[in-house]
Structure 1
Amino acid sequence: MLDINRRKFLIAGAGVGAAGLLTGVVGITLPDLLDAARDRPLPVGSGILVIVTLYGGNDGINTVIPYTNDAYHEARPDLAYAPDEVLPLDGQFALNPAFAGLAGSWRSRQLAIVRGVGYPNPDRSHFRSMDIWQTASPKDPVPTGWIGRWLDAGGDDPLRAVNVGAVLPLLAVGEKQVASALSDSIPRIPDGIASTLSALSEDDPHDTPAMSAVRRSYRASKVTEPEFGRVVKGIDPTAASQSADEDSLESQLDLVARCVKAAVPTRVYMVSLGGFDTHADERGTQEDLLKKVDQALTPFLRQMRTNSLGKKLVVMVYSEFGRRVAANASQGTDHGSAGPVLLAGAPVKGGFYGDEPSLTDLNDGDLKITTDFRDIYHELLTHTLESDPVPSIGPGRRDIGFLRPDGT
């Protein structure tokens, strides 16, 4: 098990929608993971899940496009894609032109599209909706995520789940365990966050023992953080922050690929890309973002298909909600509800799953939800992570069928 000590301490915010929740987590670097791979490599045949979060609410209608549907063109006269601009999947639906690589995965039957995904009583708030997706608790707010609860149920190895980046999303936070935070370089804590941590670190007479321990961790971070870069890689912590490319989805997945191929004993990796809140001038913005997704995922999936440890790897791509059917006056779209979830990899049985929501029978201008997102989690937990799904998402869920029965 990876040695945990105060010189390996990182501050991790609990992500979009978990305002106010901060926790100390295990900060690791690639050399740490490679050492673990040598000591206790992941057995060949182990399922691996890569979760790609698209923050901002990706427009699913212009991602998986109903290009022959008149209602689509009528609702979006200037935002809709013409039939000769898209990548057809069949006679009704097509992929956004930015998804040239993923179109190849569709043709090889290794891309599944689950349609109309969401949760009961949709909420158009980014924060609340992302909380729901990451906690798998649509009804009541809870402080733990579905992967965090999976960690709680499976032991105390901090490497079973790894978030690429120093800031943990809520989905990675359990009651007893949290995912590790992987950074190729360790950036300085921004001034705004540092001042918040200073305020949170002050003792309060009403604190529980657990809260007192968290506050002591905050105080420790003010000592350890300036030295952390020197300890890990000899990086000058006063230097300018690293280039944006080091935080790109492509770079994040490159780190994941290196870990998988080295047999790092990690079953869940979490990566992300933001910027999908496209209220204005959507077409160009979304297409650029989707191209980043495609250019990151396509070579990653290609590497996994040819690697013995990547043959049971599944990628899930989701966003907190879709967008409304009709375009707004700014050539964008506003917050909606249902949207598609993409699943890719060798174990995936390609095709469409779930009923396609109607573009005319709407719920206050939004697509009606036809697939509960927890059913996707159920199948991934059961077959990819080979675990009981109930501790993570509760009872009463079912498989959808997008994974091959033999897992390959």
Structure 2
Amino acid sequence: MKISRRGFILASGVVGAGALAVGATQVNWTDLMTAAAQDPLRPDAGVLVVCTLYGGNDGLNTVVPAADPAYQKARPDLAYQPHEVLDLGEGLGLNPGMTGLKKLWDDKRLAVVRGVGYPKPDHSHFRSMAIWQTASPDSPQPTGWLGRWLDVTGDDPLRAVSIEPVLPPLMAGQRAAGATLPVTGLKLPTGALGKSFSLMGQAESGESPDQARVARSITDLHTTATKLGPAVKPSSDNKGQLAAQLDVVAGLVEAGVPTRAYSVSLGGFDTHADEKGTQQRLLTELDQALSAFADRMQRTDRGRQVVMLVYSEFGRRVGANASEGTDHGTAGPVFVLGSPVHGGFYGEQPSLTDLDNGDLKEHTDFRDVYATMLRDVLGEDPGKILGGHDTTVGGLLT
């Protein structure tokens, strides 16, 4: 079954109850650059980037227990051998396609939270993703967890921006919703018309405040096109859409846009057949995008305040199926990366022999991860947003 982001969003019911009720805002570059000029992001303000892996990524072939005999037995043809994976210690290794994240691990800028899930897991893509995006495992919830953060802290849609054509449910609140900024490219006129347009941005003595403001906006637009234009054009070097999305996020952070939370995504992880090659290709794309973004953010004051959270709606079954793939499972690893991160393992590695009807048992509630992001990155009391849940992952962030 191929799961599309749009299909999930339409089926989840969250956007209908939240974002569409208030009118999800699609912003443009002028909106963002004006905000950067009028209310710039503080250099010490935490910024959260949430990356959703749609389709249910196989956590056991991402953070691989290659030395575990139970893993080799459960996946005789799908398993990686110990010498193939990138050693992390404790008998675990990263998928061989994730060399960039291995470097972040070695630099202590990557944390792996193990066995993350929720009580009474659901194998449905739509229900499980709705649970993750609303942070409500017990009953359906009409709002997303970052949407509720907007409800609590202010209704400016520029404070939460999705670099996607449609707003994900996690950014849909009851009274407020984030904004969307599709990766469509930024192109200004060229030739004589472009020169004339550029000249309109030059300041003149004696001009009124309104004229000066218009001139500055034209200058800002040209600056934006120079800095961010290449990042938001369709990629010509096969980096992929996630890398393009993260290039945009990086440019906005560097420009001082006051957005505190971003959403990006990568799909295709529903690997019921021929998993090994497909997943490794996707994980390589993920790895290149994440590691390049993390290295770029490391170079600026604002960038060093950015934390990235990477999750999928569920892991996969322990045993391989007859099609050299894996079926819908439960708990999986969550990645947290960035300069404020204390790298290393968090949480308990699920047993491959003590299973729940063939599924891994969850050891870390995903709301603990969210509560950590809300408290330590966004500076808000998580209990107000997560229905009283305020347990965090200790020591994860500075």
- TM-score, scaled relative to structure 1: 0.80
Distance in 2 between residues matched to 1:329 and 1:14, nearest whole Å: 27
**Residue in 2 aligned with 1:289?**
282
- Cα-Cα RMSD: 2.0
In the alignment, structure 1 residue 314 sits paired with structure 2 residue 282: no
Shift, 1:312, TM fit: 1.4
Q: What amino acid is the match of 2:12?
A: A
For residue 317 of structure 2, the aligned residue among 324, 348, 353 is: 324
Q: What amino acid is the match of 1:268?
A: A
1:37/1:389 CA distance change after superposition, 3 Å? same
Q: How does 1:122-271 map to 2 (within 5 A)?
A: 122-185=121-184, 248-271=241-264
Q: Percent identity?
A: 54
Distance in 2 between residues matched to 1:368 and 1:253, nearest whole Å: 33
Distance in 1 between residues matched to 2:79 and 2:265, nearest whole Å: 26
Shift, 1:272, TM fit: 0.3
**Residue in 2 aligned with 1:39?**
38
Q: What amino acid is the match of 2:26?
A: G
Shift, 1:398, TM fit: 1.2
Does the 8 Å CA contact 2:235/2:244 hold for their aligned counterparts? no
Q: What amino acid is the match of 1:36?
A: A
Q: What amino acid is the match of 1:361?
A: D
Does the 8 Å CA contact 2:308/2:337 hold for their aligned counterparts? yes
In the alignment, structure 1 residue 355 sits paired with structure 2 residue 348: yes
Distance in 2 between residues matched to 1:331 and 1:39, nearest whole Å: 55
**Residue in 1 aligned with 2:111?**
112
Could you tell me which runs of 5 or more consecutive residues in structure 1 were left unpaired when the two chains were aligned. 1-11, 187-232, 234-241
Q: 1:365-396, CA deviations, whole angstroms, 9 ceiling, x for partnerless residues? A: 00000000000001110010001112221214
- Number of residue equivalences: 341
Q: 1:237-281, CA deviations, whole angstroms, 9 ceiling, x for partnerless residues? A: xxxxx7897970000000000000001000000000000000000
Distance in 1 between residues matched to 2:328 and 2:395, nearest whole Å: 28
Shift, 1:165, TM fit: 1.2
1:143/1:81 CA distance change after superposition, 3 Å? same
1:87/1:323 CA distance change after superposition, 3 Å? same
Distance in 2 between residues matched to 1:344 and 1:39, nearest whole Å: 30
Does the 8 Å CA contact 2:235/2:241 hold for their aligned counterparts? no
Q: Which moved more, 1:318-327 or 1:32-41?
A: 32-41
Q: What amino acid is the match of 1:18?
A: S
1:20/1:383 CA distance change after superposition, 3 Å? closer
Distance in 2 between residues matched to 1:181 and 1:83, nearest whole Å: 42
Distance in 2 between residues matched to 1:78 and 1:304, nearest whole Å: 39
**Residue in 2 aligned with 1:218?**
none
Distance in 1 between residues matched to 2:371 and 2:116, nearest whole Å: 14
> What secondary structure is seen at the aligned counterpart in 2 of 1:257?
helix
Shift, 1:90, TM fit: 0.9
Does the 8 Å CA contact 1:14/1:167 hold for their aligned counterparts? no
Distance in 2 between residues matched to 1:284 and 1:137, nearest whole Å: 34
In the alignment, structure 1 residue 370 sits paired with structure 2 residue 366: no
1:109/1:141 CA distance change after superposition, 3 Å? same
- TM-score, scaled relative to structure 2: 0.82
Shift, 1:120, TM fit: 0.4
Q: Which moved more, 1:141-150 or 1:34-43?
A: 34-43
1:281/1:372 CA distance change after superposition, 3 Å? same
Distance in 2 between residues matched to 1:95 and 1:243, nearest whole Å: 27
For residue 337 of structure 2, the aligned residue among 322, 341, 344 is: 344
**Residue in 2 aligned with 1:198?**
none
Could you tell me which runs of 5 or more consecutive residues in structure 2 were left unpaired when the two chains were aligned. 1-5, 186-224, 226-233
Distance in 2 between residues matched to 1:297 and 1:42, nearest whole Å: 22
> What secondary structure is seen at the aligned counterpart in 1 of 2:143?
coil
When you count helix as a share of all residues, which structure comes out higher? 2
Q: What amino acid is the match of 2:33?
A: L
> What secondary structure is seen at the aligned counterpart in 2 of 1:329?
coil
Q: 1:122-169, CA deviations, whole angstroms, 9 ceiling, x for partnerless residues? A: 000000000000000001001100000000001121111000012111
Q: What amino acid is the match of 1:339?
A: G
**Residue in 1 aligned with 2:67?**
68
Does the 8 Å CA contact 2:13/2:142 hold for their aligned counterparts? no
